[in-house]
């Protein structure tokens, strides 16, 4: 057995950080103890294997009896022309091993049909593109006889079709059916009746499904609810019923509901009975009848191979007729009502394309099947039961194309040519495309583009301003350890050219946005692109790119992932809606007073800690240094203050100067005092201001759910969270003040004496007002109204600048270092501070603590990610790329929403573009843009006349951005009519046009916006 074996080593958690948020610690541990077998290292097999290796199993064993051919070069991204005639598995093994140093990759040689017992040591077995039905059935039986039963998966791509079959045994336990993170929520009432009705607190939604289970805590009155589990029956988004509560006490107030996950058990059947009585996952809402027909075509093709020892030949009428004859014997064996007769078109497409390979379909199925393998290993998420069939028949050219279009030419593109024809292939090669982002989706997309030969005569421009980090390697598979801290775009381009030397790719490192709109990505640049591809991870840039594509009438392929979920959206000028047409609702802001004084959830505590970090270690140091950059001489500043002038931020900066530390001991003392003020004095101030019997204006109790009365925390040097807060705070304070700290100084033995010798201030009643109004926002003013504070700061500065009284202020004292938040470096104390501060605040308010991983994800706004979803989504995007080049009908394009945890893979037709009636008979959409040409002497009146004569509608108002060019109601604007329009517009020197917004009178006298008008100055 050939091997590429990794040496035992301590696993760097940053490699799996994003994936851990998807799967959880238990699943990660299970994978690290699992062995997976994959037989078949073609284009589909390598996609599956790549994703499994990136996920981090203990061992992957690959098998293949075939040698590398020219067809493989165009479909398997690890194979090169220098590998021709070598065994596919042996060539692939070391390259797979490079993806993850913690996974052992081995090659199993020989013929499996002769000895199936080799499968007995694996947790999951995957057969890829096996044409022998006998071999599949034999392997499936072997897996079922094993104890425990081995999870069996068969996956295949046949031209424009893809199929997967799962058999996870007679009893498969699903520990987490959907991967959704349950959030506890507050309730406002529970009825006493045969089926108790639970009502959520105002502005709360339960997000439960019927059949879920919940528990309760902190319920007052009906205290019986605080023990036991209850099954839910949903009535509405805010109400649900539980079991009989008629014998309980009356509900009075309070209560938190906690959803809980219950395992479910599934039973799978072997391959043989599932051939003719299949359980198929439905995917495409526009092809509800297709899955059973594809299933029929697939098993017909397997029987064709069984009978004739080969696949049907493309566009061979005789082979097609033989396929049709074979279907006649199968239709009657299917479950009644599943299908009445074969779909001749699907059978023909299977016959014509099954010898070809549509690589994007390999990428899609590779992601899906790898996720099924991870489910088999971990029992996390719901697997496919038991078949899934996909197709991309829309890419096949129709319209009586000659059969010669699909003939082989002996090059790397033959597998694709068989599926889409040579004319479409040549069009793909000539495409100019622009991709924004080179992260997880970007890497996968570049690989797909290279393999299908797109932009080998045109050009692919890729931009990304990020550098490669350790945490990227888990899913951005074009990168390796040696690439860390190198530019993503340049590195990815180099890797892509290794996959296909013909690819013409231009990597750039520019951020896309208004700042580069004129210098790099102006309208001319966009107009030179055939297709725009988003590979982004933030909504802001997505919205910007969407707007630029709409302005320049360019097609956009939008996609994204979040954990096991992914989406693909096709945006086509004049045909579909845009990304902004279905914008997500804005996130609900947490009231300032809640974060500051009345948190009720751990999320509130984490946000408070994150805000504290920004304030103490980023914003204040920046303010301090910027202030002294402007007010360089403290003596001059003192003179201004003595004259009653207070420059902005003067008082807080002088107070910071007075408290500036010079030793690490002082840093520890400041940190210990902060502990006291944050977690002891704060609670005492709140309880003093609002005692137990305090009432609201309506007479209701102040401390009522969701408000939680705090309890002061007494510092305990034996409590690890207390010590962690002090150490982390001290380190950050030291960094802020440029104090070097040794590892020995941070050890517990050195820290404890410093803490014990700190003079902790005694609590005094605070005179500060505690805000309770949820509509108020954070105070922004730093200018004090207290005259004594101003005099105190002036006096301190006077002493500090007087050489005779004290040492003069040194230049280094006028600088503080800002500490930009970095979540992935555990040595910098950033997450230590936020985790300890969050949990201490939670403890103070009697809120359940969170683990470090959850705190890191929320504080770092980390998007959970896993390579399987990324691969599946990128493959679907590549399929839509081919359709865009082909130019399809609206119904042929496919938007997709997937959740590989459920599993749900839903395809739907893109939303058609909405049109509005500007005036009777004149309809426009967001894609419309009118043009008007003028000169230096072109007047506003001429502009209005030109628009009226050309578009049969008269403008009533002309605006450029926020600048009003012509608004008749504005004083003096009527005099502008005969003046040149150039006098009032703002034009960039590098452009000979401006974009104007023009308003017209509607049918009922209302203002109606027409499409943007580009005014071109000749």
Q: What does the pLDDT look like over 653-707, one tens digit per residue? A: 888 888 889 999 999 999 999 999 999 999 999 999 999 999 988 888 999 889 9
CA–CA gap between residue 478 and residue 470 (Å, rounded) = 13
Chain-centroid distance, C-alpha 253:
39
Q: What is the mean pLDDT of the chain?
A: 91
If asked whether residues 113 and 249 sit together in one domain, one would say no
Q: Of 115, 147, 174, which residue sits at a domain end? A: 174
If asked whether residues 148 and 191 sit together in one domain, one would say no
CATH code for the domain in which residue 211 is found: 2.40.30.180
In this structure, is residue 40 part of a structural domain?
yes
**pLDDT, tens digit, for every residue of 126-154?**
999 999 999 999 999 999 999 999 999 99
Q: Which one is catalytic: 138, 593, 746, 919?
A: 593
Residue 673 confidence (pLDDT): 96
Report how many domains make up the chain: 4
Residue 636 binned pLDDT confidence (cut-offs 50, 70, 90): confident
Residue 768 binned pLDDT confidence (cut-offs 50, 70, 90): confident
If asked whether residues 227 and 126 sit together in one domain, one would say no
Q: What is the mean pLDDT of residues 775-797?
A: 67
Give the structural domain span for 977: 915-1017
CA–CA gap between residue 68 and residue 85 (Å, rounded) = 5
In this structure, is residue 985 part of a structural domain?
yes
Q: Exposed, middle or buried: residue 292 (CB in 10 Å: 0-12, 13-18, 19+)?
A: buried
If asked whether residues 704 and 838 sit together in one domain, one would say yes
746 catalytic per annotation: no
Strands 930-934 and 1013-1017, by their bridges, are parallel
CA–CA gap between residue 819 and residue 617 (Å, rounded) = 6
In this structure, is residue 29 part of a structural domain?
yes
If asked whether residues 198 and 166 sit together in one domain, one would say no
If asked whether residues 160 and 194 sit together in one domain, one would say no
Residue 191 confidence (pLDDT): 96
* Percent of the chain's residues with pLDDT above 70: 96
**Side-chain half-sphere CA neighbours of 586 within 13 A:** 3
Residue 250 confidence (pLDDT): 95
Q: Of 174, 194, 216, which residue sits at a domain end? A: 174
Contacts 24+ apart (CB under 8 A), 977-982: 977/939, 977/940, 977/941, 977/944, 978/939, 978/940, 978/941, 979/939, 979/940, 980/936, 980/937, 980/938, 980/939, 981/934, 981/938, 981/939, 981/940, 981/942, 981/943, 981/1015, 982/934, 982/936, 982/938, 982/1017
φ, ψ at 747 (rounded to 5°): -75, 155
What are the distances in angstroms from CA 97 to CA 53, 396, 680?
A: 8, 36, 53
Examine the pLDDT at 780 and tell me if it is beyond 50.
no
Q: Of 237, 260, 283, which residue sits at a domain end? A: 260
In this structure, is residue 335 part of a structural domain?
no
Q: What is the mean pLDDT of residues 363-389?
A: 97
Give the residue carrying structure tokens 């203990």: 58
CA nearest 70: which of 342, 329, 415, 314? 415
If asked whether residues 142 and 60 sit together in one domain, one would say yes
Q: What is the mean pLDDT of residues 701-730?
A: 95
φ, ψ at 411 (rounded to 5°): -120, 180
In this structure, is residue 838 part of a structural domain?
yes
CA–CA gap between residue 417 and residue 843 (Å, rounded) = 64
Examine the pLDDT at 380 and tell me if it is beyond 50.
yes
Residue 583 binned pLDDT confidence (cut-offs 50, 70, 90): low
If asked whether residues 20 and 150 sit together in one domain, one would say yes
Examine the pLDDT at 921 and tell me if it is beyond 50.
yes
CA–CA gap between residue 859 and residue 90 (Å, rounded) = 44
In this structure, is residue 586 part of a structural domain?
no
Residue 835 confidence (pLDDT): 97
Examine the pLDDT at 18 and tell me if it is beyond 90.
no
In this structure, is residue 937 part of a structural domain?
yes
**pLDDT, tens digit, for every residue of 494-514?**
999 999 999 999 999 999 999
Residue 7 confidence (pLDDT): 43
CATH code for the domain in which residue 725 is found: 1.10.10.2660
Give the residue carrying structure tokens 């009978």: 307
Asked whether the beta carbons of 377 and 124 are under 8 A apart, the reply is yes
If asked whether residues 220 and 96 sit together in one domain, one would say no
If asked whether residues 53 and 96 sit together in one domain, one would say yes
In this structure, is residue 73 part of a structural domain?
yes
Q: What is the mean pLDDT of residues 858-863?
A: 88
Q: Exposed, middle or buried: residue 711 (CB in 10 Å: 0-12, 13-18, 19+)?
A: middle
Examine the pLDDT at 600 and tell me if it is beyond 80.
yes
Chain-centroid distance, C-alpha 455:
27
The answer to whether the predicted template modeling score (pTM) of the entire model surpasses 0.75 is yes
If asked whether residues 695 and 751 sit together in one domain, one would say yes
CA nearest 128: which of 261, 36, 221? 36
Of the given ranges (109-123, 568-582, 648-662), which has the lowest mean pLDDT? 648-662
Residue 783 confidence (pLDDT): 46
Measure CA of the first residue to CA of the last residue in the chain; give whole Å.
Answer: 73
Residue 813 binned pLDDT confidence (cut-offs 50, 70, 90): confident
If asked whether residues 924 and 950 sit together in one domain, one would say yes
Residue 986 confidence (pLDDT): 86
Residue 334 confidence (pLDDT): 79
Q: What is the mean pLDDT of residues 59-88?
A: 96
């Amino acid at each position: 057995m050939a091997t590429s074996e990794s040496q035992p080593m301590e696993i760097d958690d940053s490699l799996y950080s994003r994936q851990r948020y998807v799967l959880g610690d238990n699943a990660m541990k299970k994978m690290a103890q699992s062995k997976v077998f994959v037989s078949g290292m073609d284009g589909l097999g390598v996609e599956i294997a790549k994703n499994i290796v990136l996920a981090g199993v203990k061992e992957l064993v690959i098998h293949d009896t075939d040698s590398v051919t020219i067809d493989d070069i165009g479909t398997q991204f690890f194979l090169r022309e220098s590998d021709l005639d070598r065994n596919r598995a042996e060539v692939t093994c070391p390259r797979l091993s490079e993806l993850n140093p913690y996974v052992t990759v081995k090659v199993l040689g020989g013929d499996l049909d002769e000895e199936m017992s080799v499968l007995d040591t694996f947790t999951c077995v995957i057969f890829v593109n096996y044409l022998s039905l006998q071999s599949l059935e034999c392997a499936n039986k072997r897996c079922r006889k094993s104890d425990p039963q081995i999870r069996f998966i068969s996956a295949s791509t046949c031209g424009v079709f893809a199929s997967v079959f799962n058999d996870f045994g007679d009893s498969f336990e699903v520990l987490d059916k959907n991967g959704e993170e349950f959030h506890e929520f507050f309730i406002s009432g529970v009825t006493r009746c045969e089926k108790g009705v639970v009502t959520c607190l105002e502005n709360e939604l339960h997000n439960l499904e019927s059949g879920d289970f919940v528990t309760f805590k902190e319920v007052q009155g009906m205290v019986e609810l605080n023990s036991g589990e209850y099954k839910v029956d949903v009535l509405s988004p805010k109400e649900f019923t539980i079991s009989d509560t008629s014998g309980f006490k009356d509900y009075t107030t309070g209560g938190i509901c906690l959803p809980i996950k219950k395992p479910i058990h599934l039973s799978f059947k072997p391959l043989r009975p599932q051939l003719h009585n299949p359980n198929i996952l439905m995917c495409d809402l526009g092809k509800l009848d297709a899955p059973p027909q594809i299933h029929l075509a697939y098993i017909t093709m397997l029987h064709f191979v069984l009978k004739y020892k080969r696949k049907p030949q493309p566009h061979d009428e005789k082979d097609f007729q033989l396929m049709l004859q074979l279907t006649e014997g199968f239709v009657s064996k299917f479950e009644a009502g599943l299908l009445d007769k074969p779909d001749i078109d699907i059978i023909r497409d299977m016959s014509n394309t099954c010898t070809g390979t549509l690589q994007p379909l390999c990428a899609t199925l590779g992601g899906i099947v790898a996720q099924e393998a991870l489910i088999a290993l971990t029992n996390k998420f719901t697997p496919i039961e038991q078949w899934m069939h996909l197709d991309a028949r829309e890419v096949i050219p129709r319209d009586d194309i000659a059969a010669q279009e699909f003939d082989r030419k002996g090059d790397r593109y033959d597998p694709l040519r068989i599926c889409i024809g040579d004319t479409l292939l040549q069009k793909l090669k000539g495409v100019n495309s622009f991709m924004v982002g080179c992260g997880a989706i970007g890497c996968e997309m570049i690989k797909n583009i290279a393999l299908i030969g797109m932009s080998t005569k045109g050009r692919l421009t890729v931009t990304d301003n990020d550098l490669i980090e350790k945490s990227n390697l888990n899913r951005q598979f074009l990168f390796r350890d040696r690439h860390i801290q190198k530019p993503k775009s340049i590195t990815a381009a180099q890797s892509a050219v290794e996959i296909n030397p013909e690819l013409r790719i231009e990597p750039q490192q520019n951020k896309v946005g208004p700042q580069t709109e004129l210098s790099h990505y102006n309208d001319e640049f966009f107009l030179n692109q055939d297709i725009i591809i988003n590979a982004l991870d933030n909504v802001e840039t997505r919205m910007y790119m969407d707007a630029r594509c709409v302005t320049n009438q360019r097609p956009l392929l939008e996609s994204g992932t979040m954990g096991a979920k992914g989406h693909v959206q096709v945006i086509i000028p004049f045909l579909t809606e845009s990304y902004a047409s279905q914008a997500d609702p804005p996130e609900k802001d947490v009231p300032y007073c809640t974060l500051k004084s009345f948190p009720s959830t751990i999320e509130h505590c984490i946000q408070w800690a994150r805000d504290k970090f920004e304030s103490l270690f980023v914003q204040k140091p920046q303010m301090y240094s910027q202030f002294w950059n402007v007010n360089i001489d403290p003596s001059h500043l003192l003179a201004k203050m003595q004259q009653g002038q207070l420059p902005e931020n003067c008082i807080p900066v002088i107070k910071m100067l007075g408290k500036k530390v010079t030793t690490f001991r002082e840093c520890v003392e400041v940190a210990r005092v902060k502990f006291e003020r944050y977690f002891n004095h704060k609670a005492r101030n709140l309880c003093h201001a609002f005692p137990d019997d305090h009432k609201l204006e309506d007479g209701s109790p102040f401390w009522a759910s969701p408000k939680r009365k705090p309890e002061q925390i007494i510092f305990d040097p034996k409590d690890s969270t207390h010590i962690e807060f002090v150490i982390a705070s001290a380190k950050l304070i030291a960094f802020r003040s440029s104090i070097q700290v040794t590892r020995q100084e941070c050890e517990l033995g050195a820290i404890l004496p410093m803490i014990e010798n700190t003079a902790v201030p005694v609590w005094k009643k605070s005179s500060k007002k505690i805000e309770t109004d949820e509509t108020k926002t954070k105070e922004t003013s730093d200018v004090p109204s207290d005259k004594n504070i101003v005099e105190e700061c002036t006096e301190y500065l006077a002493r500090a600048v007087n050489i005779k009284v004290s040492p003069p202020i040194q230049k280094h004292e006028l600088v503080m270092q800002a500490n930009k938040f970095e979540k992935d470096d555990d040595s910098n104390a950033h997450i230590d501070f936020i985790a300890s501060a969050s949990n201490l605040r939670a403890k103070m308010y009697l809120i359940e603590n969170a683990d470090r991983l959850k705190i890191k994800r929320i504080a770092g706004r980390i998007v959970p990610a896993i390579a399987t979803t990324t691969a599946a989504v990128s493959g679907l995007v590549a399929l839509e790329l081919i359709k865009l080049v082909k130019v399809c009908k609206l119904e042929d394009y496919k938007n997709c929403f997937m959740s590989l945890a459920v599993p749900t893979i839903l395809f739907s037709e893109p939303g058609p573009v909405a049109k509005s009636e500007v005036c009777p008979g004149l309809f426009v959409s967001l894609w419309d843009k009118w043009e008007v040409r003028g000169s230096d002497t072109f007047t506003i009146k001429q502009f209005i006349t030109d628009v009226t004569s050309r578009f049969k509608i008269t403008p009533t108002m002309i605006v450029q951005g926020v600048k009003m060019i012509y608004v008749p109601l504005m004083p003096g604007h009527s005099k502008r009519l005969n003046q040149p329009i150039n006098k009032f517009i703002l034009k960039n020197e590098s452009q000979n046009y401006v974009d104007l917004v023009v308003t017209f009178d509607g049918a009922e006298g209302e203002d109606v916006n027409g499409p943007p008008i580009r005014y071109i100055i000749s």
